[in-house]
């Protein structure tokens, strides 16, 4: 693992920007106020031994700057290929200034906790039996946000599905060894129950070695196509002069198939930059009000059952005219339904397929189900956090879902990088291929770990930038972080996007609606 302990946020941006093969000149358009510099002291920003402030500011900056850079070629997509369009699409002088202040970025990593709806705080997300439980030789973390996961965990432990008694759950987990319970739960039952591990225990696993060194990866797929290389299977995105309220990604069509936090963050971010995001959810999964109200913002909502032939055909029809498909399930989930990246590229040779998974596309665990909290537990982060805190606890969770949020912004950045490369090829008259973007929660955790930890307890004793007064008690400066709009659920006060793009300001025009409220069609709006 690369040692990045001396990295400042700008170093993170520069490293990943270079890895995505984006134009280095664009970095001069980025401003990140409040960031640590490589030459100065590195300060904690939230109560954690890990550098969550670095991760927040750098990943949000990457998503916004990559959107602005994609805009530099998208705005030329109505040009005929040739020297003039090449000059337009490759010129970087027109990239607008992008600004991501540190405190606002840190707050955005907590956004699902900060909104109010009809005067009330967010609904509780976690179930009654999830969290850390003892085993015969250690501990496991149970994830029970969805009712079917809770029922499955209780059934495996021999408890009634109505059980809400955590002590009863702990009595049953003590009958198991941690890794044995994890193996049966994950590999046989499809649950998200993971053993608590130290860094040393995690590093000994082949899966730890299978993770890429960098947390977002991009590859191209070239499919045989009879389509013109300038415009394979998609309409041209309209130039900026043809649309009011133009944003960086106006006209981009995004089909998002996801739930919970990480992949929805990516879709919500693209929507903030103007993309038309159609959020597809399964009719078999329930509404999660505490999360869905936050991460549905900016999107239209439809429900499709991909195991139903008619709904699958509709999904393929939408994918045929999409620029991007985001999927936040296990890597093999869509492929098992005939919707792999290669199969989607066959019907849309210019598509960008973005995968958000728990453990990445390689290794023995690549098909495992997982979420932020279990990944923190099984990869050593929680044990390392507890050791630095020094209270004697065996585990301490990060103060926010940092892996989820970081992964979502990195996925958005990878998508924008793919769009940039695709549209640059189009403008220069080259064959236009499809792209695959891969981000995993474990990969983001590996990168966060590589940034190092603060010495001793110092990470828990600095300024906490996530602290903000409650609704109705905020200062004028704090109120500036928020916006208030009407929704079908009542008045919503929510955190504005922390990135600013000069002349192309991000923001959400659509407010959350009940799942399945919209038609499964693309719009021109």
For the chain, helix (H) and strand (E) counts, in that order, are 19, 16
Pairing label, strands 482-487, 490-495: antiparallel
The DSSP string of 313-330 is HHHHHHHHT-SEEEE-S-
Residue count of the chain: 525
**Token couple for 26:** 């664009």
Type and span of the H or E element at 97: none
Beta-carbon contacts of 215 under 8 Å, excluding residues fewer than 6 positions away, are 16, 406, 407, 410, 439, 440, 443, 444, 446, 447
Type and span of the H or E element at 303: strand 299-303
Distance of alpha carbon 384 from alpha carbon 269, whole angstroms: 31
The residue among 407, 378, 452, 406 whose CA lies nearest residue 208 is 378
**Token couple for 274:** 């103007």
Query: Where are the alpha helices (H) located in 455-514, listed in sequence order?
Result: 476-479
Query: Where are the alpha helices (H) located in 204-288, listed in sequence order?
Result: 206-210, 262-272
Beta strand spans in 126-234 (E): 131-134, 139-142, 193-195, 216-221
Active site residues: 404
**Token couple for 56:** 């927040």
Tokens 């728990």, residue located: 358
Distance of alpha carbon 152 from alpha carbon 102, whole angstroms: 41
Answer whether 129's CB lies under 8 Å from 163's CB: yes
Answer whether 65's CB lies under 8 Å from 26's CB: yes
Distance of alpha carbon 134 from alpha carbon 139, whole angstroms: 4
**Token couple for 160:** 């009634």
The residue among 265, 287, 355 whose CA lies nearest residue 146 is 287
Distance of alpha carbon 90 from alpha carbon 226, whole angstroms: 27
Burial zone of 6 (CB within 10 Å; 0-12 exposed, 13-18 middle, 19+ buried) = exposed
The residue among 324, 322, 279 whose CA lies nearest residue 297 is 279
The residue among 371, 380, 406 whose CA lies nearest residue 131 is 371
């Amino acid at each position: 693992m690369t040692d990045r302990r001396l990295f400042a946020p700008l170093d993170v941006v520069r490293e990943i920007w270079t890895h995505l093969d984006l134009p280095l000149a664009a970095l001069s358009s980025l401003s990140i106020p409040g960031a640590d510099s490589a030459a100065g002291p590195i300060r904690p920003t939230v109560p954690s031994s890990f550098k969550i402030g670095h991760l927040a500011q750098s990943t949000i900056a990457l998503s916004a700057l990559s959107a602005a850079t994609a805009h530099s070629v998208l705005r030329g997509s109505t040009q005929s290929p040739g020297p003039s369009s090449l000059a337009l699409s490759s010129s970087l002088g027109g990239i607008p200034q992008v600004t991501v202040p540190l405190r606002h970025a840190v707050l955005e990593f907590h956004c699902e906790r900060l909104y109010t709806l009809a005067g009330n705080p967010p609904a509780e997300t976690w179930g009654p039996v999830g969290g850390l439980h003892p085993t015969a030789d250690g501990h496991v973390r149970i994830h029970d946000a969805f009712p079917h996961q809770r029922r499955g965990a209780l059934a495996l432990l021999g408890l009634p599905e109505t059980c809400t008694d955590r002590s009863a759950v702990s009595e049953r987990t003590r009958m198991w060894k941690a890794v044995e319970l994890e193996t049966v739960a994950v590999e046989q039952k499809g649950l998200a129950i993971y053993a608590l591990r130290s860094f040393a225990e995690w590093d000994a696993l082949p899966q730890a070695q299978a993770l890429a060194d960098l947390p977002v990866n991009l590859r191209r797929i070239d499919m045989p196509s009879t389509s013109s290389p300038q415009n394979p299977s998609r309409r041209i995105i309209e130039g900026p002069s043809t649309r009011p309220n133009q944003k960086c990604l106006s006209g981009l069509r995004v089909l998002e198939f996801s739930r919970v936090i990480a992949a929805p963050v990516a879709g919500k971010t693209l929507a903030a930059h103007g993309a038309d995001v159609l959020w597809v959810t399964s009719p078999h999964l329930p509404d999660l009000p505490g999360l869905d109200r936050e991460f549905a913002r900016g999107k239209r909502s439809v429900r499709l059952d991909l195991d139903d032939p008619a709904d699958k055909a509709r999904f393929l029809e939408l994918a045929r005219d999409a620029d991007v498909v985001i999927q936040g399930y296990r890597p093999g989930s869509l492929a098992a339904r005939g919707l792999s990246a290669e199969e989607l590229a066959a019907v849309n040779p210019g598509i960008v397929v973005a995968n958000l998974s728990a453990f990445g596309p390689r290794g023995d665990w690549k098909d495992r189900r997982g979420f932020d909290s279990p990944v923190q537990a099984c990869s050593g982060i929680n044990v390392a956090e507890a050791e630095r805190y020094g209270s004697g606890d065996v585990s301490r969770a990060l103060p926010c879902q940092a892996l989820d949020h970081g992964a979502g912004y990195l996925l958005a950045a990878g998508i924008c990088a793919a769009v940039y490369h695709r549209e640059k090829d189009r403008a220069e008259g080259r064959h236009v291929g499809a792209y695959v973007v891969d981000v995993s929660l474990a990969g983001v955790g590996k990168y966060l770990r590589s940034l190092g930890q603060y010495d001793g307890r110092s990470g828990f004793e600095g300024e906490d930038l996530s602290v903000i007064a409650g609704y109705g008690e905020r200062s004028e400066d704090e109120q500036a972080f928020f916006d208030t709009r009407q929704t079908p659920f009542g008045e919503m006060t929510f955190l504005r996007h922390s990135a600013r793009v000069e002349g192309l300001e991000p923001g959400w025009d659509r407010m959350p609606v009940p799942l399945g409220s919209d038609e499964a069609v693309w719009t021109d709006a």
